[in-house]
Structure 1
């Protein structure tokens, strides 16, 4: 080959490679919404993070973890109400079903209500404020695991009575057995013991946060130390209210790697839910993420 022609070809190939190497790599959805993550504030006495030395779970840590994943024939989220619910409480459960369907992009169903007496007196106590409490571990081990439907990927129990995890603890918002894929939460604390028209939205927002948080754990996501996120640990209602219902970009990356949903459809579904329920702060967060698609 003519040396001049050979040099020309080499120079031409060099220009092509240089051109493509200079092209800006298009960011993924997760890389794009990272700008909308809100930094965690410094933990104060009484906060979950203040007295706990939890390890940061990277995406690689999550990938290596043995965890529950939906699979054909075992891919439905079930809610199991336990107790006697009034009409507003029933409405909260129905809306939680709708929300979890949109949040996880998995079919979500509500099982028939189980009566209070399914929990024996030995697994109950009267707390110092006068309300009856149910032992959360009993609900997990003796009710939910034994009744878990064959097509369930996870089951989330919802009680109208307060919950406690062990005798020395005052109460617990939620508890789960991650290996078995069952969890339980209570409406009681989210509404000050009584759901009303005035506190309905506040109570609902707390319920959807704790429910999606516990189910997120069942899918292998640890407490989030990355940003303000629904997967942050919480010790109090004020801490729960401070945390977003939005999962941060890292926790969304973990979730999507197991559930494989369409990000855009999920955001549209969540925006629709927040708008209809007048959960304005969460609507604006979903809108900010969605606008990055444009």
Structure 2
């Protein structure tokens, strides 16, 4: 064998390997953060998944849906408080506005508070435990739909009253409509009807989870069966607490397909919010995602 030809072959092989290594396809943001998705545990009696036979919504299923998307002149999320709110509750709503603006990367505004008198007698009941409850469907279909601002992408009601979805149900944390882009969340159960400085962060974390979950539904995302995720269905507060505020990689893929935000800016914004509010578990999860880009 000619040594010159052999050395030349080695050289060209080296150049070829170097070319392919330099042009190796980089992983996308979604592929990268999927490494931090946490598998769902087996559903237990009382869990949402145990009682509901839901099918996973693939990205292809999501893409086929007719759904709400931002458009010029219609790209703002509005929050509509209804009720009598104390100082801590008002602070909680303002922080939720701030969080949702970072989570969805859209402008979020709070409308003037409406009084509880907007709920007619036909939309109220007293539960077997003695608290007044409001029919969630009435809030969506009769109250909010008529008050949705012209530039509103979605309108989320926030009430301090407990909610129920239909006569045979005890309560619901929130409800949303894909078609009308309206939803409602109740503060009532997040602090057992008594928000204080000691339970403020616990209540806030529950509120940001349920609010982002319900607005996620308005954007066409079904209950998540892919991983532990803010879009998991939930029956109880312990189940809500167990689920992350983090959207899994599949749900982030769906969300970004409609909203087209910058992934890393969103992640940085969320990390800063969790750090500022001392929501340490969610900060740790955001930091884990962030570390993948160092």
Task: State the superposition RMSD in angstroms.
Answer: 1.7
SS at match of 1:122: helix
Match of 2:108 in 1: 108
SS at match of 2:208: helix
Match of 1:201 in 2: 201
Q: Distance in 2 between matches of 1:23 and 1:81?
A: 52
Match of 1:123 in 2: 123
Match of 1:5 in 2: none
Give the alignment of 1:107-256 within 5 angstroms.
Answer: 107-256=107-256
In the TM superposition, residue 19 of structure 1 has moved relative to its aligned partner by: 4.6
1:51-100 superposed Cα distances (whole Å, 9 cap, x missing partner): 21111111111111111001110000000000000000000000000000
When the two structures are superposed, what TM-score results if normalisation uses the length of structure 1? 0.93
The answer as to 2:263 corresponding to 1:263 is yes
Q: Distance in 1 between matches of 2:148 and 2:98?
A: 20
Q: Distance in 1 between matches of 2:287 and 2:80?
A: 31
Q: Distance in 2 between matches of 1:253 and 1:166?
A: 33
Match of 1:274 in 2: 274
The answer as to 2:72 corresponding to 1:36 is no
1:232-255 superposed Cα distances (whole Å, 9 cap, x missing partner): 000000000000000000100110
Match of 1:97 in 2: 97
Task: Specify every segment of 5 or more residues in structure 1 that has no aligned partner in the other structure, as ranges.
Answer: 1-11
Q: Distance in 2 between matches of 1:144 and 1:111?
A: 12
SS at match of 1:238: helix
SS at match of 2:257: helix
Q: Distance in 1 between matches of 2:260 and 2:178?
A: 20
When the two structures are superposed, what TM-score results if normalisation uses the length of structure 2? 0.93
1:251-274 superposed Cα distances (whole Å, 9 cap, x missing partner): 001101111111111111101110
Q: Distance in 2 between matches of 1:53 and 1:133?
A: 28
Task: Specify every segment of 5 or more residues in structure 2 that has no aligned partner in the other structure, as ranges.
Answer: 1-11
Q: Which runs of structure 1 show a deviation greater than 3 angstroms over 4 or more consecutive aligned residues?
A: 15-23
Match of 1:8 in 2: none
In the TM superposition, residue 21 of structure 1 has moved relative to its aligned partner by: 8.5
In the TM superposition, residue 20 of structure 1 has moved relative to its aligned partner by: 3.5
Kindly tell me the number of residue pairs found equivalent between the two proteins. Answer: 283
Paired residues of 2:177 and 2:217 also in contact (CA < 8 A) = no
Q: Distance in 2 between matches of 1:21 and 1:61?
A: 35
Match of 2:27 in 1: 27
